[in-house]
């Protein structure tokens, strides 16, 4: 599996839910702590059946198909992209039954295309920002209600703002009084919306500023050439 999406959208929570539902053990593999492909193989062989191997933030692991050198000039084999691909292609399926490997990333577009090849990661799951249906599930879990008059305001706001389930959950946990909790969620979304609109406006201003600079440079070059010809 590949779980991808912004931080706070529930990737780790989904893995925990999978493990609880299947009654599987979870192994958290930090690729940056593994010295070589051989070490990686030994780590995997040491894991048990009925388990989930989790490789979080695969885009930050710095996987490359080359060896590094030590201070004295000797070559030192590091874990490589090829080594990880061997896990996905064959090793993981050959070391035992009922095993799942889950990669996570905040930036799917930064992954090497070799990792995303069809048949290598069977399921790509996009963990997105909080939707209205997800909000209602969170409200039911934290406040034990399935309806509130302020839900319509939430429905409108949540389509206009990028807020993660983790941010919503943090707000709902602050207050067990139903109306206060919903009002706090509305305030959080309104602040988030205002901040995002400011960022968008600043981005447009930056683009306009760059365009003006480019136009100024073009005019300078044109007038400069004319003045040079006159001289």
Decide: 23 and 73 in contact? Cβ < 8 Å.
no
- Read off the pTM: 0.73
More confident residue, 54 or 84: 54
Q: What is the pLDDT of residue 206?
A: 57
- CATH class, domain 2-126, is alpha beta
Confidence class for position 182, pLDDT limits 50, 70, 90: very high
Decide: 184 and 142 in contact? Cβ < 8 Å.
no
Confidence class for position 74, pLDDT limits 50, 70, 90: very low
Q: What sign does the dihedral 90-96-97-98 (CA atoms) show?
A: negative
Cα 106 from Cα 104, distance rounded (Å): 7
Average pLDDT, the chain: 81
Coil, strand, or helix at residue 124?
A: strand
Which residues lie closer than 8 Å to 144 by C-beta, 6 or more apart? none
Q: What is the pLDDT of residue 23?
A: 94
Domain ranges, ordered by start, for the chain: 2-126, 129-231
pLDDT in tens, 213-230: 555 555 545 555 555 454
- Tell me what the mean pLDDT of segment 1-14 comes to: 93
């Amino acid at each position: 599996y590949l779980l991808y999406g912004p931080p706070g959208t529930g990737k780790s929570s989904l893995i925990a839910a999978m493990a609880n539902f299947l009654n599987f053990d979870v192994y958290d593999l930090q690729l940056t702590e593994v010295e070589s492909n051989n070490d990686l193989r030994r780590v995997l062989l040491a894991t048990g059946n009925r388990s989930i191997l989790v490789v979080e933030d695969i885009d930050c692991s710095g996987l490359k198909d080359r060896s590094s050198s030590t201070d004295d000039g000797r070559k030192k084999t590091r874990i490589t992209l090829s080594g990880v691909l061997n896990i996905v292609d064959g090793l993981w399926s050959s070391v035992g039954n009922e095993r799942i490997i889950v990669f996570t990333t905040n930036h799917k577009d930064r992954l090497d295309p070799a990792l995303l090849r069809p048949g290598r990661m069977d399921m790509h799951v996009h963990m997105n920002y909080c939707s209205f249906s997800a909000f209602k599930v969170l409200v039911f879990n934290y406040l034990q209600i399935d309806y509130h008059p302020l839900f319509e305001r939430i429905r409108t706001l949540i389509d206009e703002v990028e807020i993660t389930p983790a941010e919503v959950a943090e707000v709902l946990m602050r207050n067990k009084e139903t109306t206060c909790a919903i009002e706090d969620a509305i305030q959080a979304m309104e602040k988030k919306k205002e901040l995002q609109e400011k960022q968008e406006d600043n981005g447009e201003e930056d683009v306009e500023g760059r365009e003006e600079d480019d136009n100024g440079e073009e005019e300078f070059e044109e007038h400069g050439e004319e003045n040079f010809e006159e001289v």
